[in-house]
Amino acid sequence: MTDAEMVDAFAMAVQQFDRVADHLGLDDSLRQVLRTCKRELTVHFPVKMDDGSTRVFTGYRVQHNLARGPAKGGIRYHPAVTINEVKALSMWMTWKCAVVNIPYGGAKGGVACDPSLLSRAELERLTRRYATEISVLMGPDSDVPAPDMGTDAQVMAWIMDTYSMHQGYSVPGVVTGKPVPIGGTAGRVEATGRGCTIIAQAISKQRDWQPQETTVAIQGFGNVGSVTAQLMAKEGYRIIAVSDSKGGVYRQDGLDMEELLSYKREAKTAAGFKGGETITNAQLLELPCHILVPAAMEGQITAQNATRVQAQVIVEGANGPTTPEAEAILEDKGALVVPDVLANAGGLLVSYFEWVQDLQSFFWAEEEVNRRLEATLSRSFAVVTDLARREKANLRLAAYILALGRVKEAILARGIYP
């Protein structure tokens, strides 16, 4: 993704916000506050490489709004990370937290790097140095990072340990998405994909679609996409295509998910799987199917390809995969877009559950975590769909009306200090 496209991510986030602000008649003062990120930290830090050389990396941590609680948001390791992308992601996190009504504000972080080109030792040194640089913002009551693209439970463990060493005692609540033995929660790894599945099932129920007759295409076969594919296949849905950064595979009768997942564990990609025909990421987006789950990067469905998207329902597993221009085209075609702030909120919800468990030092069984996830997400989906019906709005506009209303209420209640 180019830098220009990254700038578009923040422009897209602001454009989405402006549409809702216009709809609500939001006054200029509140618009100014909510269009602006509260804090933007850029850090440049050296890392000792295995060959003895030193490389300087650039990282970011952005907090969009803290009116409803501590900042919450993932950390992304990707070569194309920029400040504008991180700003957009932090704004989307604010709305996501408000849509599912948990007491957080939005944040996001990232380091411009390719983790696949770093050794484990280099990745650990980079992570610990980055954590130290952003520790001025981090804390269990101030800013709680989580995994995102290119990071995982091990990266969170290093961040938690680094922060704890600085404090002189263990602080498990400073990050979520950690390994279970150091305060992580059961069910966190699968949470975002499980949330996408819950939403897809709710849509299917609304439309009287039987799982075995419902076709699904999933762009992005990382943590979110692969878990969504696995869980939906288990529920009987016909997964006809998946893809990742190296390519994809398609089979109209449905892919054998057990074989595909086994292949991916060995090959580290879905590309080249012999159980279907080879397709590209672009081709996957345009396949005829009932449900399309874009679970890769932002800005995948645009004005350039939206006219060729044939899915009846788009469940946004990634953040910002559909541009506003593309969404208007899809809406004109009668397609339903379930926005990211609702569709992929499962990971956020279980991160919140992990944080609560850490603060209490009392942990739940995985069944309890999944039960609470389904109950909260199903309730949020019902509230958004009911609001969309009453407002004669699409689901994104309804979700944003709900989110902005909750954030606005918090800002007005707290007032402006001093």
Indicate the domain borders of the chain: 37-172, 191-343
Low pLDDT (below 70) residues in the chain: 1-7
Q: What residue has token string 């484990």? A: 120
Class of domain 191-343: alpha beta
In this structure, which CATH number among 3.40.50.10860, 3.40.50.2300, 3.40.30.10, 3.60.150.10 belongs to the domain 37-172?
3.40.50.10860
- The confidence score (pLDDT) of residue 8 equals 78
> What residue type is 300 in one-letter code?
Q
What are the beta bridge partners of residue 215? 238
Considering only CA atoms, which of 165, 239, 187 is closest in space to residue 371?
Answer: 187
Q: Is 72 among the catalytic positions?
A: no
Task: Say what the pLDDT of residue 265 is.
Answer: 93
- DSSP-based three-state secondary structure for 235: coil
Q: Confirm whether 37-172 and 191-343 share one CATH topology.
A: yes
**Residues β-bridged to residue 48:** 54
Please tell me the number of Cα atoms within 13 Å of 97 on its side-chain side.
29
Q: What is the pLDDT of residue 1?
A: 42
* H helix or E strand, kind and range, residue 108: strand 105-112
Write down the pLDDT at residue 262. 96
Q: How far apart are the C-alpha atoms of 340 and 337, rounded to whole Å?
A: 9
Q: What distance in Å separates the CA atoms of residue 18 and residue 31, rounded to the nearest whole number?
A: 8
Confidence (pLDDT) at 6: 39
Burial class (CB in 10 A: 0-12, 13-18, 19+), 25: exposed
Helix (H) or strand (E) holding 274: none
Of 72, 87, 96, 108, the catalytic one is 108
Written as one string, the DSSP assignment of 281-307 is: HHHHHTS--SEEEE-S-SS-B-TTTGG
Does residue 401 contact residue 387 with C-beta atoms inside 8 Å?
A: yes
pLDDT value, residue 5: 43
Sequence-ordered list of residues with C-beta below 8 angstroms from that of 86, at least 6 positions apart, any chain: 60, 61, 62, 76, 108, 109, 110
The pair of structure tokens assigned to 150 is 């290119």
